């Protein structure tokens, strides 16, 4: 036991050790020697926007997802917005999304002028529930955005079957699922268009904002290529009313270096999740994550469910542990979407999950001692009998 971080010489857990929610310093050290000369070369060339390295990273990321095309943009939110733009979704249209997700999934719909239509989630994966999906499809539905929440793909066969039958596009919000697989295919390659965020804390994170759209559809690829760059075809030839949402070459250099490690880092996350599961799975009052058959979970987020969550959250913080809630308020109850008329009780599964989830520290380079300390602390807070007198 000696040498395990988080325990003293006798093997007892340290009373108060700090475990950050994420610590990406080791990731930086892994790529430091690769990126420094590459960044210097970009600075020398001055090729800052959509440069050669940016285009190279698009090809690498398309290959990683096994899609034909990839377009670098400046955030996950813009990736989603432009995906809907390429499908010509606008006022009068409806787009279905799970109510339990980050608000950007809904905002991108609102930006187009279309109406976001919230849907219930599954109690096990917290992803959109295909059994509830068909009930919210109308004649106006133009797209469904399944979110691969926490790093596990949604039930894509069932979703794609409904979409195909009703002639609706499927735009994946894969912003939390870089490298996750569903029946052997990577997230992003499971619908018509896949959207990624490279926000710094994502499992593939830039040193700033960045995002990517992937697709096999040439027409959509070309349209998004124009949309992100003022709608232009030639230098001053503008086919459509586009935006300025391009990926910086500097971010592409960093992302390209990190991409080489992504599978390994995902495996490390998977090993930490397995260890968390082992230590927590039989503890009464704690529900560990469920990974469905045929899918690999990349654990962008490792979230447990506990009753009396807010007390547990405060207790964990007091013990020096970085914990967060993803997400405390489902979108149908957010003030920003009050105009949609949502009320408590509309989506009971999502509401219960939002009251119970607690995200524990998760990053590739965390160590076993940190996980043991987190689990011991959590058990102590959840099981009063384990608390010291
Ligand atoms: C599910 C989901 N959708 C969309 C986004 C938006 O991505 P970004 O922050 O890069 O705009 C995020 C990330 O924050 C996310 O987690």
pLDDT digits (tens, 9 = 90+) for 185-217: 999 999 999 999 999 999 999 999 999 999 999
93-130, pLDDT tens digit by residue? 999 999 999 999 999 999 999 999 999 999 999 999 99
* Residue 58: CB atoms within 10 Å: 23
CATH number of this structure's domain 28-256:
3.40.640.10
CA 367 – ligand 1 centroid, Å = 27
**Dist. CA 33 → ligand 1 center (Å):** 29
CA 189 to chain centre: 15
Counting from 1 in the atom list of ligand 1, the atom nearest the Cα of 149 is 1
Q: What is the pTM of this model?
A: 0.95
- The two structure tokens encoding residue 298: 């990349």
* Ligand 1 proximity of 331 Cβ (cutoff 6 Å): no
What is the Cα–Cα distance from 332 to 316, expressed in whole angstroms?
A: 29
pLDDT score, position 3: 41
CA 58–ligand 1 middle distance (angstroms): 19
- Pocket perturbation via mutation, ligand 1, pick of 77, 121, 149, 180 by most ligand atoms within 8 A of CB: 77
Higher pLDDT, 44 or 17: 44
Ligand 1 atom nearest the C-alpha of 211 is 10
- In the reported structure, the alpha carbon of residue 202 is separated from the centroid of ligand 1 by a whole-number distance in angstroms of 9
Q: Compute the average pLDDT of residues 209-229.
A: 98
CB 254 less than 6 A from any atom of ligand 1: no
CB of 75 sitting under 6 A from ligand 1? yes
Which part of the chain is CATH 3.90.1150.10?
A: 262-386
Listed in order, the ranges of the chain carrying CATH 3.40.640.10 are 28-256
Ligand 1 neighbour 211 (Cβ under 6 A): yes
* CATH architecture, domain 262-386: Alpha-Beta Complex (3.90)
330 C-alpha vs ligand 1 centroid, how far in Å? Answer: 15
Residue 344, CA distances (Å) to 119, 313, 355 in order: 14, 23, 12
Q: pLDDT value at position 17?
A: 86
pLDDT in tens, 267-303: 999 999 999 999 999 899 999 999 999 999 999 999 9
Residue 73 CB less than 6 A away from ligand 1: no
Would you state the pLDDT for residue 385? 56
Q: Could you report the per-residue pLDDT of 66-83, keeping only the tens digit for each?
A: 999 999 999 999 999 999
| Full 3-state SS string of the chain | CCCCCCECCCCCECCCCCECCCCCHHHHHHHHHHHHHHHHHHHHHCCCECCHHHHHHHHHHHHHHCCCEEEEECCHHHHHHHHHHHCCCCCCCEEEEECCCCCHHHHHHHHHCCEEEEECECCCCCCECHHHHHHHCCCCEEEECCECHHHCCCCHHHHHHHHHHHCCEEEEECCCCCCCEECCEECCCCCCEEEEECCCCCCCCCCCCCEEEEECCHHHHHHHHHHCECCEEECCEECCCCCECCCEHHHHHHHHHHHHHHHHHHHHHHHHHHHHHHHHCCCCCEECCCCCCCEECCCCCEEEEECCHHHHHHHHHHCCECCECCCCCCHHHCHHHHHHCCCCCCCHHHHHHHHHEEEECCCCCCCHHHHHHHHHHHHHHHCHHHCCC
């Amino acid at each position: 036991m000696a040498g395990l971080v988080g325990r003293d010489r006798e093997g007892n857990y340290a009373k108060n050790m700090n475990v950050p929610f994420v610590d990406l310093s080791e990731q930086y050290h892994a790529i430091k020697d690769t990126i420094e000369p590459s960044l210097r070369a970009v600075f020398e060339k001055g090729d800052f926007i959509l440069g050669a390295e940016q285009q190279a990273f698009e090809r690498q990321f398309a290959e990683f997802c096994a899609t034909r095309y990839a377009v670098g943009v400046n955030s996950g939110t813009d990736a989603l917005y432009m995906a809907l733009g390429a499908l010509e979704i606008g006022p009068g249209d409806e787009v279905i999304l799970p109510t339990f997700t980050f608000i950007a999934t809904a905002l991108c719909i609102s930006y187009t002028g279309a109406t976001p239509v919230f849907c219930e989630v599954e109690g096990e994966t917290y992803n959109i529930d295909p059994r509830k999906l068909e009930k919210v499809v109308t004649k106006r539905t133009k797209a469904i955005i399944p979110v691969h929440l926490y790093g596990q793909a949604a039930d894509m066969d069932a979703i794609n079957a409904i979409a195909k039958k009703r002639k609706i596009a499927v735009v994946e919000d894969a912003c939390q699922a870089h490298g996750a697989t569903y029946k052997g295919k990577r997230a992003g390659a499971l619908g018509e268009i896949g959207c990624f965020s490279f926000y710094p804390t994502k499992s593939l994170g830039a040193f700033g904002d960045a995002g990517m759209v992937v697709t096999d559809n040439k027409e959509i690829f070309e349209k998004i290529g124009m949309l992100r760059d003022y709608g232009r075809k030639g230098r001053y030839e503008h086919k459509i009313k586009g935006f300025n949402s391009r990926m910086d070459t500097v971010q592409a250099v960093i992302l390209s270096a990190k991409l080489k490690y992504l599978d390994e880092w995902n495996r490390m996350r998977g090993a930490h999740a397995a260890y968390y599961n082992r230590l927590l799975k039989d503890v009464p009052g704690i529900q560990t994550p469920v990974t469905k058959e045929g899918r690999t979970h990349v654990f962008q987020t490792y979230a447990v469910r506990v009753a009396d969550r807010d007390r547990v959250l405060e207790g964990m913080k007091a013990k020096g542990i970085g914990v967060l809630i993803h997400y405390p308020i489902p979108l149908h109850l957010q003030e920003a979407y009050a105009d949609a008329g949502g009320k408590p009780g509309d989506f009971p599964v999502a509401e219960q999950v939002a009251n119970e989830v607690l995200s524990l520290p998760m990053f590739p380079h965390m160590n076993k001692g940190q996980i043991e300390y987190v689990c011991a602390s959590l058990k102590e807070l959840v099981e009063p009998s384990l608390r010291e007198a």
